[in-house]
A and B are shown apart, each in its own frame.
Chain A
């Protein structure tokens, strides 16, 4: 069957430039797919992705679930006989794909390179300054006991941030649907809405247990060092730390608006304890990831701008959050209010720009997991149970000489 291939060399160059310079060394042996603890009999990766990138088949590679099913354990890079760095290629593909599916596209470009950083931080700064000017709070800091709501009233924060984050969520949902649609068209075939709905529980269980990260270390092919042994525990810390902070914030909002229980809440309050503990766990996870990225850079593959951007913004958000609390309790008025301002700017960056940063993996990875869970549910039960063992008998002759 004839097939017209339209190579997109710009795409290949872009991936090469995203710290995956060795991908052209690949000689398609499939070691990577065989050592991968996560790839399945029906959708082995990353060998075919290496070929697709080398051939410049952009749409095909970006419409496969595999790029997000990969959890970057880097076994493939450790065992690759050619040093082609498949794990780095998969990371670069995720990086690229965030921009590819970004809506609007210019936001994807803006978050993809450091030159727009000033503008991106400038937007929430100007927004908050306008708000402060409107409230007449630019002349001086509020006097008396430090209550952040006296500086920037919670209601305004809720309104502005809810609107902005709502827009971001809509954009993320749109992007996620585009990716899902691309998988439906090109990946392993169409799955119906009912099938997707049926896969939700399995997907959520995988997400809440962070099972894929666990399998990365549990199903290792051998003893070779990958420099990614920390990934499961450190990502558990990030996941539950962040989730704890989301629950904290939601609880505070409910407390304020439903029960009129105004801030600041005492330190012994269970919600406050949850918030502080979650923040600490989050920072610990970030510290491990940052340290390993720096320490193992030469051996574990390089980190890109977008890797560091998310780590840094998350860390600064958490740290300024703690700084707000500490300076408030210490009564340092001159420091506490400006720190709160900075904290709000960072929160804006983190939550409003999330569809365009690495944070968007919560959408894309979930979509890929949902889609492949729906595909997996289709397999005859017997096949799924024995996970393969088909005889290697189809290619019973020499390849065409």
Chain B
């Protein structure tokens, strides 16, 4: 038997020894200091730390321990290997070894000693966090969170790393080697393996979604426990193995084999858990794929339309029981002999009747196949009664997400949060149509019919019975019909309904016959204190904000109510392939993550302090009510009404996530097209932002490709149709937040299609047409045929042919700009500023450019990040295929910069920038303030010029690439990224990489290759075929890019070393930065007789990097 006395004695003295070691003391000191600073930053609003750090009780224990865990996982290696090293060195240990104790007592005592030391450190850090949270005003205080995070985060990691250290130390018998091997392992697991293989290798638990909600608890505690259990048991197994392997004679022969049994048992438990974990994760994927296959196989069946659906739901414990009555009709032209209905596979049918008779049905997961007694004729009605009960399997929600890129958790700052789609808990329920909690006619998403999402506009009637202390929330007129019982009756047919039940408190206000409510889980109403002073003016304010938004989008709010409903922070904000916004946007309501933690502008305290500071700076004095009004306005506009291009604090989400827009259009009407289902989303994307002018003209120097550019690159290689099938395959690097998905491409391409139509048919006319269309088809769908025939009637042309090209061809417009002129003119004795240029689209697709001009306006206020950037002048110019325009603008103030956005086109970057130095020249010409047709041109190269650009075939570079074997191995399955990347000025690449920049030369693609400067170890080569022998002027195209870093001396600006090949050999030509100008730079005149000639650029430079752009040979007369 194990003697606890011995074990604790060993542990006690091990702990005492470690506590006195300077190594540990320094680590503990630094941890307390570092985390102290972190806690201060997290707890004071002035630091800019997001609200999430303060308002949820799990935040601080979770993040503190996560940070600490990274450190302790490394320090524990040293402490663990240290005792074995000392044991080997000192005879002292023989004094201990000669004592009567088992090897198990000794090793477990040592391990317990190390663990105890960290236990106290964890405790200190948690007390520190608690202390700070109690000092801070709006912090959430929780106690239980402090108990389970150490068990979930620290314990498994420490046991594992101790076991691993002991094991390696016993095996390698060298502390230094053990340390190096383990550090390497940690580095690989953190930097390469962390998110791979369902983050199975993440022993530090950095990626394990462990954030806990006050409403829904952990996202998935079972997965977390399994993941952490894996490391705990493997660690324990390795500790037992050390007991077996330690260089001390066991107490008795019996004891020799006992530890090895425990080792096998623990490792088996670990392996079993690994297996379970992978089974769960893979099982989720394969099950989801199975559901998708089923949808695919039944998507082609003709379906009945649900006209009305009456639901009576009883919520009890973690289950629901529903009696559903569906009233369907056959609106197809064919007879239907099999009725397909979708219902969540977790819900078991107990009774089914069709037209009042028991009817045969078959269930295959979510598919319910009903065989009617007789076929349903066209226009015939059909009644189905179903009784079902059970729970919700969340796999049904996002069948449209590719399993290759699917992540079941999301990150916000340091928090890893498990995505949840539906809840049925004892005290909380959250169900959206994606949960299939009520029967839906036909199938959901089917990949064989991408983006085909055709919900019926149905008249719903819902009765809910739940616990008497809970409140149910759904669409429509709400009647409380008893304790915990509610009846909901939407006034109009809706494409979907949702149900939320919880311990809510409700604040409501009515303005212009619309009831605005906020439903908050009792205890989470943190916002109340921030808006106490302006309740009287709230109806007026809401009216004002609403009117402003409606003026912008051109529609009126069609419902009688709008509610904000609090849901757990795990509620997924993913977007469907067919949606503008996330599933948090439901008819008449928007879900918000608890306490508004992933919303913009919910840190009302911080916002108030900022506003007060600003007021003080501007000598402004306003009332408390006015201040609260401003804060409220920012909150409402920022979250629910923002333009999708605006900067958003959350990388993974865009501004459309919580947009109100679906309430104005999506839930009112939808365009149906079986051939091009994405047209519905295209139209909605256009309608949403049709009046938005803001286009970000900023491009950070180091910025990677913009989303627009990524979309262009995708569309360059594949048509929309192909992309819908293949998905976005490129650069699915999960570390990179700036990836686009197919939804982004559809929205951009769709918006572009409708924007082109608008440019063609006239803004006002086209917008009126669409408004009328929506108005005429309220609460029902309309077909593409209807749309096209109405369009043809109004504008005289059908667009189906154009849509077919738009959908299936990957040809884009391409814009060439030439003869840019800027000069002053005098008009009525006043100086005017003229900009004039020619722009052509020689390609087969029509295109559009947006020209924004900034003027030198002294009254311009400083722009702030995140605010709308409204240019001084903006004009959209439609350029049909194979055409060109001459464009002239005249301004009263001097223009400083012009951006030409080329939208969806061959052009890269998609923002061509002209920085105007000054308008020196005065011309005695009439002003040219118009856009006129001009003969199309398809090149910008003059006669007798031969240009080889880095995009051309004549360009190549020499380099030797070195990549470590390990990296190659790990990256084996990594998808390739885009050809272009941002300029990494702090660490230029050791190979040639392509970068985009408006100032580079290029026909459509303005790019250059760049590399880190070196000693002529890499060269770029331009080879040209010259038509004639003769004298040629040779030019290089240079965009001077020098990073303005304070300590960069003038001498460190990049210089260029060219080698020009000609008749009499080669000339090495050096150009210092001061010799060069942006654009073409003359290198010399040479006699060249050979038909092929070349210019080389070496990477030798005093600057940090060199750019290889284009070379021009101009034949002399």
Do A and B associate with each other?
no
Question: Could you tell me which B residues sit within 8 Å of A by CB distance?
Answer: none
Question: Could you tell me which A residues sit within 8 Å of B by CB distance?
Answer: none
